[in-house]
């Protein structure tokens, strides 16, 4: 099975390359500049894979507020082109979306049928991408995930560890709750689904996949420092005490039952992934 992955250096794309081995062909901007209309479709037709996975996105949440055209191009227009090309070739198409399609006002866990109402341009462009993908390729699989972390790229875990080198007290938002998700777990889920879709398995549309248990950003930070052995005090603050250009949802705990029911993909424990990532970062530091 040959898998064409859009995105080369993102956290999930890199994890797909590691776990997928030679089966995963990752395309970066040099091979397929998604800002250019037609580039994605041309790459799919040229490579003729068995499955297409879109792991590319505009993920700078705050910057998207003022860079809407670029966010829309990468998060909505390009995925629609991929989906259309994959559908024409009868190829399975998997696309990554986000918990930020929700406004976070609901209580409890959010199912795939919960009403989407994004609070920021990032979430709005990702929601537009979801709708465009499903219109172009009704058999596509869209994986909504959240709070992605890994040993590569820029993410909350690496930021906290960097700050711990010079700070012993940090103010972290405690009223936003969700699920941290190891990029390696997302990649493993995508590869499992890709294999089943390649073999003709049913199941399409929206699926939720995030780490468990639900936690706040402050609670996540405390666990990072605990596992890393960093004596940093975390002071809990509210969202209103840390203003940002883009508004964030308060509750994005996702109900992940459907993905396990349809594809046998269980919800992972993010604490296990966090231990792995911290160990990898420690090993990387020793190798320098």
Instruction: Write down the pLDDT at residue 285.
Output: 65
Instruction: Write down the pLDDT at residue 286.
Output: 63
Mean pLDDT, the chain, rounded, equals 97
Instruction: Write down the pLDDT at residue 146.
Output: 98
Res. 11: pLDDT tops 60:
yes
- Provide the phi-psi class of 144: left if phi over 0, else alpha when psi is between -120 and 50, else beta: beta
More confident residue, 21 or 279: 279
* CA 22 to centroid of chain Cα atoms: 22
Instruction: Write down the pLDDT at residue 283.
Output: 86
Instruction: Write down the pLDDT at residue 205.
Output: 98
Residue 288 parent element (H or E): none
**Contact by Cβ (8 Å): 93, 137:** yes
pLDDT band at 46 (very low <50, low <70, confident <90, very high): very high
DSSP letter at 32? -
Instruction: Write down the pLDDT at residue 281.
Output: 95
pLDDT band at 77 (very low <50, low <70, confident <90, very high): very high
pLDDT band at 256 (very low <50, low <70, confident <90, very high): very high
Query: pLDDT tens for residues 266-275?
Result: 999 999 999 9
pLDDT band at 287 (very low <50, low <70, confident <90, very high): low
Arithmetic mean of pLDDT, 57-67:
98
> Known catalytic residue: 122?
yes
Catalytic, out of 58, 100, 122, 207: 122
178 burial level (CB within 10 Å; 0-12, 13-18, 19+):
buried
Percentage of residues in the chain having pLDDT higher than 70: 99
Fold that domain 3-155+180-211+252-268 belongs to in CATH? Rossmann fold (3.40.50)
Arithmetic mean of pLDDT, 238-245:
96
pLDDT band at 190 (very low <50, low <70, confident <90, very high): very high
Q: Return the C-alpha torsion angle 155, 160, 166, 168, nearest 10.
A: 170
Instruction: Write down the pLDDT at residue 61.
Output: 98
Strands 93-98 and 51-54: parallel
Arithmetic mean of pLDDT, 34-46:
97
Bridge partners for 235 per DSSP: 171
For 42-180, strand residue ranges (E) read: 51-54, 93-98, 141-145, 148-149, 169-173, 177-178
């Amino acid at each position: 099975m040959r898998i064409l992955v859009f995105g080369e250096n993102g956290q999930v794309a890199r994890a797909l390359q590691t776990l997928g081995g030679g089966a995963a062909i990752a395309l970066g901007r040099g091979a397929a500049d998604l800002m250019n209309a037609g580039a994605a479709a041309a790459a799919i037709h040229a490579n003729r894979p068995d499955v297409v996975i879109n792991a590319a996105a505009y993920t700078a949440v705050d910057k998207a507020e003022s860079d809407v055209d670029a966010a829309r191009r990468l998060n909505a227009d390009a995925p629609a082109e991929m989906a259309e090309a994959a559908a024409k070739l009868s190829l399975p198409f998997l696309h990554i979306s986000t918990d930020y399609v929700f406004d976070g006002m609901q209580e409890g866990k959010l199912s795939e049928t919960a009403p989407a109402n994004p609070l920021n341009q990032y979430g709005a462009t990702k929601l537009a991408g979801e709708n465009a993908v499903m219109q172009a390729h009704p058999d596509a699989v869209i994986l909504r995930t959240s709070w992605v972390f890994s040993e590569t790229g820029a993410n909350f875990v690496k930021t906290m560890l960097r700050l711990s080198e010079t700070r012993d007290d940090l103010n972290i938002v405690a009223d936003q709750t969700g699920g941290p998700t190891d990029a390696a777990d997302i990649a493993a889920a995508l590869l499992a689904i890709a294999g089943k879709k390649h073999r003709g398995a049913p199941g399409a549309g929206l699926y939720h996949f995030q780490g468990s248990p639900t936690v706040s950003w402050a609670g996540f930070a405390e666990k990072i420092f605990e596992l890393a052995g960093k004596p940093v005090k975390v002071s809990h603050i509210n969202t209103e005490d840390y203003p940002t250009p883009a508004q964030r949802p308060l509750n994005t705990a996702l109900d992940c039952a459907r993905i396990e029911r349809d594809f046998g993909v269980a919800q992972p424990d993010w604490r296990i992934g966090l231990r792995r990532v911290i160990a990898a970062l420690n090993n990387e530091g020793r190798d320098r």
